[in-house]
Amino acid sequence: MTSEPSRTTAAAAASSSEGLSHLDEQGRARMVDVSAKDVTVREATARGRIELLPETLRLIVDGQVPKGDVLAVARIAGIMAAKRTPELIPLCHPLPLSAVEVSLTPDHDRSAIEVEAMVRTTAPTGVEMEALTVVSVAALTIYDMCKAVERTIRIEAIRLVAKSGGKSGTFHAE
């Protein structure tokens, strides 16, 4: 009987060959040691979109949603989420955030709200997860505040669009 490599061994092999830094030599999850990395200014921008019925978008823009000012609450929720990212994403490092900006732009032609987040820090690791978390939580907040008015709301296209700082340099998706 031949023995096949365990998933752990396979994960460890993938870890070393594909550069999965969150796995140790045995394939176990770990928090990456960033103590030897340079402290630099790092910035990340993420985007997403909330698609909803034109009537729901009109209620949001006109401030007529029964739960209150949807865009103001979503903006604050996004900022709060950036600060709590390491509590939500298990292997994320707690970082001193220098800036968090949340932009919520109604798009009447697409019947959507475009969500954009920019997060900045001066630290030894990046803020991509924080930016993505801001967009996700802001979008979820919009859904929560509007679900009594519309159940067909869709959260779509959450993605990293740019990052800068650190050894890997600058990245732009768009």
State the Cα angle at 138 between 127 and 146, rounded to 5°.
Answer: 170
Give me the active site residues, please: 144
Q: Please report the DSSP string for 92-144 in residue order.
A: PPP--EEEEEEEEEEETTTTEEEEEEEEEEEESS--HHHHHHHHHHHHHHHHH
Q: Are strands 154-164 and 112-123 parallel, antiparallel or unpaired?
A: unpaired
CA dihedral of residues 72, 94, 125, 22 (deg, nearest 10)? -120
Instruction: Please give the DSSP secondary-structure letter assigned to residue 36.
Output: T
Which residue do the tokens 């001066």 mark?
122
- What kind and span of H or E run contains 50? strand 40-51
**d(C-alpha 86, C-alpha 92), whole Å:** 5
Instruction: Please give the DSSP secondary-structure letter assigned to residue 161.
Output: E
